[in-house]
Amino acid sequence: MSDKTTIIVQSGDMDKIYSTLIVSNGALAMGMETSLFFTFWGLLRLKKGGLEKGPLSKMNFLGLGKIMMLKRMKKSNVVSLERLMADFKELGGKIIACEMTMDIMGLKREDLREELIDEYGAVGTYIQEARNSAITLFI
Amino acid sequence: MEIHVDVRGETCPVPLVEMRKAVRKAEQGDIIEITGDNPASKKEIPMAADALSLKVVSIDENEKVWKIKILK
């Protein structure tokens, strides 16, 4: 069995980016390789200043719900997405940005946080990663 | 050498992540001692050590604060 996790990050919702990075960091911490394929709304979170900008997937209430959720998360000592991302990169996590989404959304490489991105690719890149993975998720 | 990692007050996934960072930096034969109070992590750090083929030397708990020692 391969020791690799591959996740398609399609949603840009804050709570789903949390799920992605928590699962990824757990996988890295437990010795697996981990690749994240950012596509569609997920890719917007790789824009400069974009990581923490996602709405809550439910009960966002024009951002009020998100503020309340962030308060409760802080009270429970949940760390920020920036911290989770820094840990992800420090533990050797790999990030792939979807080039077709970049075309659709009119995003250039310089609009994205290039220092986080290891590779720019399309579906073939994802399949090559996923076919060798014991865990694959679509978030 | 003994390396100390204090994750008291931290919740999922930080205790696991900090354990992994310390293991990566440690040398063969070093002991990594993790101190924390997150109940899930007390179970999961030994699971992670097992997955990384590392030996858990000891697990102690006192007043909800646990200490886990791992040998690299």
CATH of the domain at B64: 3.30.110.40
CB contact (8 A) between residue A22 and residue B14:
no
ipTM, interface predicted TM-score of the complex: 0.91
Q: Does domain A4-138 have CATH number 3.40.30.10?
A: no
Q: Does residue B60 register a pLDDT over 60?
A: yes
B12: annotated active-site residue: yes
Please identify which of the residues B6, B11, B12, B50 carries the catalytic annotation: B12
The structure's pTM equals 0.94
Contacts of A1 in chain B (CB under 8 A): none
Q: C-alpha angle with apex A78: A73 to A79, nearest 5 degrees?
A: 125
Instruction: Kindly give, in sequence order, each residue whose CB lies less than 8 Å from that of residue B8, ignoring residues fewer than 6 positions away.
Output: B35, B36, B37, B65
Contacts of A76 in chain B (CB under 8 A): 11
State how many domains chain B has.
1
Distance between CA B39 and CA A32 in Å, rounded?
Answer: 23
Considering only CA atoms, which of A25, A36, A1 is closest in space to residue A136?
A36
Range of the domain at B16: 2-71
Domain positions in chain A? 4-138
Q: Return the residue of B nearest to A31 by Cα.
A: B52
pLDDT in tens, chain A (139 residues): 469 999 999 999 999 999 999 999 999 999 999 999 999 999 999 999 999 999 999 999 999 999 999 999 999 999 999 999 999 999 999 999 999 999 999 999 999 999 999 999 999 999 999 999 999 999 9
The beta-carbon neighbor of A87 closest among B12, B17, B51 is B17
